[in-house]
Chains A and B, each alone.
Chain A
């Protein structure tokens, strides 16, 4: 059978379904069958699964002409998905095509949810297509004779690659692929990615920048022209709209008609606690929605999640309040409308969410933006422009993640063992480790075998051993078991399962929240009010409560930040607002003959807020850099407004605080958001001195920034993940009763010990490097400082907090920086308490 005949088989099947293959699907089939690798850029719900699953089956048919009667067993293809929730959907699609084409190919899933029994069965005989997660792939590499399992692998598909790129799970995939390239001789590697700014780089990272695989690869774009309509929900009475907050519940009434007018609506919240609260309030205020509205987030048990997903598909729900748990995969045809509550912080994410609606060809996606506080309306206007211009962010891949490398090498040592001379070239060919030096490689090998760089007397460090033939191997069963349990780069707190007294699993919850409660306390979880009965054996035992008041767990989701592109749009919006207020100080109607682009309804609605802002301060124009200072009960506030996005503000804020702290002994707490940052102190900051000393200078930038990082806690937080991934912090045995107490420590403690005794440790230094590369983004910072150097600094000494300052000064998550002696600080604090 030649290629044309193969493709005919696929076309046939498509027309039997009443479908017509898209061009991108046909292109992918052709390239795959030409033995190429590649990256497919296609959005969720576009038929991307069939773009790659079809040629995998066709290849099998071609090689096995008697495929209808005979079954050649063994693993042929792996499908990697970042979310295990997506695996069922993929399994169904895959099975459908394989069966209807009359093959005997089997499809299996292996994730954290897979039972022990099924795993064992898979170990005896792998399915032909295995759907799995990056972590489970690593676990396969951690089992004996993995090379035999992967010997006849033809294809590996990395689905939703954009979600993995820019994370350490992505690095895990890169390393896994580097091994598979050697042991599976006929391997083809394909990625599937939604639209991001750096698609070409995404392909390079996936395949390895200098690899043969990369040379023989294609980037295929689906180019499905999808119309997205963005609408802002604008409060009728702006005067009553809060200046700060992140819940958005005051606009709950506006959501009701939207739900009623649409077949199915997905309501996206940014955190799980917000999701819980929205669901609870909807039920409380609109009891008629009972049974028609459901909730979906990552901590709810799997059965409920699957039920909700199924109910969306068969149109039995009007609305679902959800988190990023419904961002990906799963095609929900009946969804007509999306509501985004609060800033999505990224254009790509916003577009992705919008794309969950209006799946029928020709239909447009409809997304409403519901602002949670006044200034967010500016964000709404900026988002609209971003969508129109398809300004999408890059996902920045990690470089030299030694923590993941340490984990990976231990994984190989746990299963078959490895020889460094064989593995080093594989690693050197990945994107992440293309820059690794011989010295760094030796450092890593020493680290996993000796726990340090030189042998110590009295030392009993035990992990990887070097056998007589030079093979690196883990021989201790305890080490191997702990390592397998630790595999995974998503770091989370210890998680406890929540169960009813009478039995019945409700979900899982982070330990730190539960540890704040006593028996008898009531909390809201999975939409129910539950009373804590007791905590036993990693289980939280609860019973239903009728109590009206309860605490809502706030899950610690990552704080997202505006990208450079989004920040620029936001600044433009702000400048327009300034122009708009200049031209229309009193009335909204445009004056005759004057041109104003500010027809955005969001800006009009914000007029009362702008007026209030102008009372004490200004709305900065493109040539202005605004600084506001004022005093409250809390101390002396200084707010700076670069409008550069949270990450740049973290860097700028730390830098400035550090430079001021060199002028005099002073202590700050720092707060940041996407608009600006605040330095708060118990003593007044001499702003004139700050300006006179040119503290925004980009001279000695890196040096000062590095020192300010040492002074704040930012790197310390990064170190937490690194310590867990590299196996230095043992997080315990999930749901097991084995005592690990003597091995518990926290990464904070570990950070201090490294700082004091082993500051040259590569893993310790990685915490700082990651802060630079992934958080502070040196390049953006330089551009921002450059821009500021051309602006006029406008310092407003205000009497009261301004509307712009409000969301920042009320933020409670703060950095600290101090150049005072701790004894002096204590005395000062004691003095202020006496007052």
Chain B
């Protein structure tokens, strides 16, 4: 179950995976995948299960097949740390993708631009189009609506009987839409929304407006 929204008169489709499609541009936005994180931990002696590495690529393939976009735009923190063996897995994945790929660089993206260019991936510090501003860090800019990542927003929904459900979410306010982290093995930042803000929570199956 998807959720369709409009931002700055442009149309977007929110997907339970945490990715989102910009319909006018046929551009698939994916934020904070943190590839290489598990390998990074393993390289430093922390035995995080190896099998979990494959899951990110499986989900990336699923989502790009589902939307078949013209462009895939990674919204920063695509790679968690410096170069490791997971780069080769990523290169294999890129080779099988028809869409063109761009990266809006984030604070974790420290791998050389040349490596990305060799795979045909262009890197930008930001992208602006049709009054939409794509960045990694949340930003406020006059006359633009900002779509970004970085925060890994999550929301705690409370109910009767002292019940709490913790969910990843898209967090939308007047100036920004902050996307959830797409990657496995990433944490959350719990949002306290203000009046007028919207929270679109994602479960494994659905996107649900909860605030």
A residues lining the B interface (CB < 8 Å): 447, 451-452, 456, 458-463, 478-479, 482-483, 634-636, 667-669, 680-682, 727-730, 742-743, 745-746, 749-750, 753-754, 756-758, 761, 812, 814, 816, 822-823, 825-830, 832-833
Q: Which residues of A contact B201 (CB under 8 A)?
A: 826
| A743 & B52 in contact (Cβ 8 Å cutoff) | no
How distant is the Cα of A813 from the Cα of B157 in the complex, in angstroms? 17
A754-B41 in contact (CB<8A): no
Question: Contacts A458-B88, A757-B49: A680 and B161 contacting too (C-beta < 8 A)?
Answer: yes
Binding stretch for chain A, among B21-29, B58-66, B77-85: B77-85
Contact present for B43 and A460 (CB under 8 Å) = yes
A211 CB, nearest partner CB in chain B, Å: 32
| With A459-B85, A460-B84, A814-B162: A826-B45 Cβ-Cβ less than 8 Å | no
- Selected from B43, B51, B157, B205, the residue in CB contact (under 8 A) with A461 is B43
Q: Which 9 A-B pairs have the closest CB atoms?
A: A635-B161, A829-B159, A451-B47, A682-B160, A758-B49, A458-B85, A757-B49, A463-B45, A757-B51
For A745, list chain B residues within 8 Å (CB): 41, 48, 185, 187
User: Known: A459-B42, A634-B161, A669-B162. Is A823-B208 also a contact (CB below 8 A)?
Assistant: yes
Closest A residue to B86 by CB, please name it. Answer: A458
The reply to whether A460 and B42 contact each other, CB–CB distance below 8 Å, is: yes
Pair B50/A829 contact, Cβ less than 8 Å: no
A825 to B187, CA, bound (A): 22
CB proximity of A124 to chain B, nearest CB, Å: 31
Interface contact A459-B50, CB-CB below 8 Å = yes
**In the complex, which residues of chain A have a beta carbon less than 8 angstroms from the beta carbon of B86?**
458
Give complex CA distance A483, B45 in Å.
Answer: 9
A669, A756, A812: the one within 8 Å of B161 (CB): A669
Seed contacts A682-B163, A826-B165; 5 additional CB < 8 Å A-B pairs: A452-B47, A669-B161, A730-B44, A745-B187, A823-B205
With the chains together, A445 CA to B204 CA distance in Å? 37
Q: Once bound together, how far apart are the Cα atoms of A812 and B158, in whole Å?
A: 14
State which of A451, A668, A826 has its C-beta within 8 Å of the C-beta of B50.
A451
Interface membership of B39, Cβ < 8 A: yes
B39–A635 contact, CB under 8 A?
Answer: no
Tell me if B119 counts as interface (CB < 8 A to partner A). Answer: no
Contact between B203 and A823, CB atoms less than 8 A apart = yes
Q: Are B165 and A825 in contact (CB under 8 A)?
A: yes
Closest Cβ neighbor of B206 among chain A residues: A823
**A462 close to B185 (CB less than 8 A):** no
List the B side residues contacting A482 at CB < 8 Å: 44-45
Residue of B nearest to A459 (CB): B50
- The one of B49, B80, B165 that contacts A754, using a Cβ cutoff of 8 Å: B49
Contact indicator B41/A826 (Cβ below 8 Å): no
Q: Which residues of B contact A669 (CB under 8 A)?
A: 161-163
Closest to A814 in B: B162
Residues in B whose Cβ lies below 8 Å from that of A668 = 161
Can you identify 9 A-B contacts, CB atoms within 8 angstroms?
A458-B86, A478-B44, A667-B163, A669-B162, A749-B186, A753-B38, A758-B51, A829-B165, A830-B157
Contact present for A682 and B159 (CB under 8 Å): yes
Interface core residue of B43, B81, B184, B201 (most chain A CB under 10 Å): B43
A828 to B161, CA, bound (A): 12
Neighbour of A753 across the interface among B44, B89, B185, B208, CB < 8 A: B185
Interface pair A826/B161, CB less than 8 Å apart: no
B122 at the interface (CB under 8 A from A): no
B175 at the A interface (CB under 8 A): no
In contact, B48 and A753 (Cβ under 8 angstroms): yes
CA gap between A609 and B71 in the complex, in Å:
71
* A452: nearest chain-B partner, CB-CB: B50
A742 interface neighbour in B40, B48, B162, Cβ under 8 Å: B40
Distance in angstroms from A439 CB to nearest chain B CB is: 18
> Which residues of A sit under 8 angstroms from B185, Cβ to Cβ?
745, 749, 753
Please determine whether B46 and A727 come into contact, CB atoms closer than 8 angstroms: yes
Which residues of A have CB within 8 Å of B88?
Answer: 458
Task: Give the residues in chain A near B164, CB-CB below 8 Å.
Answer: 816
Check if B81 sits within 8 Å of A742, measured CB to CB: yes
Q: How far is the CB of A459 from chain B (nearest CB, A)?
A: 6
A826 touches B162 (CB 8 A): no
Give the CA-CA distance A456 to B49 in the complex, in Å: 11
Closest chain-B Cβ to A70's Cβ sits at a distance in Å of 48
Tell whether, in the assembled complex, residue A728 and residue B85 are in contact, meaning their CB atoms are under 8 Å apart: no
| A462 engages B45 (CB within 8 Å) | yes
Contact with A along B151-177 (1 / 0, CB 8 A): 000000111111111010000000000
Chain B 94-129, CB-CB to A under 8 Å as 1, else 0, gives 000000000000001000000000000000000000
Neighbouring A residues of B47 by C-beta, 8 Å:
447, 451-452, 461, 463, 728
For residue B13, CB closer than 8 A to chain A, the reply is no
B5 in the interface (beta carbon within 8 A): no
Query: In whole angstroms, what is the CA distance A24 to B78 when docked?
Result: 68
Q: Which of B40, B46, B89, B108 has the most CB of A within 10 A?
A: B46
Q: Which of A478, A745, A761 has the most CB of B within 10 A?
A: A745
A20 to B41, CA, bound (A): 61
User: Smallest CB–CB gap between A741 and chain B, Å?
Assistant: 9
A680 to B38, CA, bound (A): 39
CA distance A669 to B203 in the complex (A): 21
Contact of B8 with A by CB under 8 A:
no
Q: Within the assembled complex, what's the spacing in Å between the Cα atoms of A459 and B49? A: 11
Q: Evaluate contact between A462 and B44: CB separation under 8 angstroms.
A: yes
Select the residue from B88, B159, B186 with max chain A CB neighbours within 10 A.
B159
By the criterion CB–CB under 8 Å, are A829 and B51 in contact?
A: no
- The residues of B that contact A833 with a CB separation of less than 8 Å are 159
Q: Does B2 contact A (CB under 8 A)?
A: no
Report whether A479 and B162 are in contact in the complex, using a CB–CB cutoff of 8 Å. no
Is A753 touching B184 in the complex (CB atoms < 8 A)?
yes
Give the distance in Å from the alpha carbon of A172 to the alpha carbon of B186 in the complex.
32
CB distance from B44 to the nearest CB of A (A): 6
Contact at B163–A816, with CB atoms within 8 Å?
Answer: yes
Kindly report which residue of chain A lies nearest to residue B42, judged by CB atoms.
A461
> Does B161 contact A749, Cβ atoms closer than 8 Å?
no
* Contact flag A743-B161 (CB < 8 Å), given A458-B86, A830-B210: no
Residue in B closest to A832 when the chains form the complex, CB atoms: B160
A816 to B88, CA, bound (A): 41
Which of B41, B49, B52, B161 is A636 in contact with, Cβ under 8 Å? B161
Q: Which of A749, A822, A829 contacts B158 (CB 8 A)?
A: A829
Q: In whole Å, how far is A712's beta carbon from the nearest beta carbon of chain B? A: 14
Assess whether A753 is in contact with B52, with CB atoms less than 8 Å apart.
Answer: yes
Minimal Cβ-Cβ distance residue in A for B162: A669
Q: Are A462 and B162 in contact (CB under 8 A)?
A: no
A758 to B47, CA, bound (A): 11
Q: Which residue of B lies closest to A476 (CB)?
A: B45
CA separation between A463 and B45, bound complex, in Å? 5
Per the bound structure, the CA–CA distance linking A727 and B85 in Å amounts to 22
On whether the beta carbons of B45 and A832 are closer than 8 Å, the reply is no
Q: Could you say which residues of chain B place their CB within 8 Å of the CB of A447?
A: 47
Within the complex, the shortest CB–CB distance from B110 to chain A, in Å, comes to: 10
Give Cα distance in the complex from A756 to B49, angstroms. Answer: 9
A194 CA to B73 CA, complexed, in Å: 65
A829 x B203 contact (CB < 8 A): no
Instruction: Tell me the complex Cα distance, A396–B80, Å.
Output: 43
Also in contact, A746 and B208, with CB within 8 A (given A459-B50, A728-B48) = no
Docked-complex contact A825 and B159, CB < 8 angstroms: yes
- CB proximity of B1 to chain A, nearest CB, Å: 9
Q: Separation in Å of the A99 CB from the closest CB of chain B?
A: 47
- Chain A: minimal CB distance from B168 (Å): 12
Give, as a whole number of angstroms, the nearest-CB distance from A702 to chain B: 27
Looking at B86, B88, B162, which has the most chain A CB atoms within 10 Å of its CB?
B162
- In angstroms, Cα B50 to Cα A761, docked, is 12
In contact, B206 and A479 (Cβ under 8 angstroms): no
Inter-subunit contact A826/B43 (CB<8 Å): no
CB pair B42–A822 under 8 Å, yes or no, is: no
Considering only residues 1-45 of chain B, those with a C-beta below 8 Å from chain A are 38-45
Give B167-211 as 1s and 0s: 1 = Cβ < 8 Å from A's Cβ atoms. 100000000000000001111000000000000010111101010
When distances are taken between beta carbons in the complex, the residues of chain A under 8 Å from B167 are 822, 826
A43 shortest CB reach to chain B, Å: 43
- Min CB distance B206 to A, Å, is 5
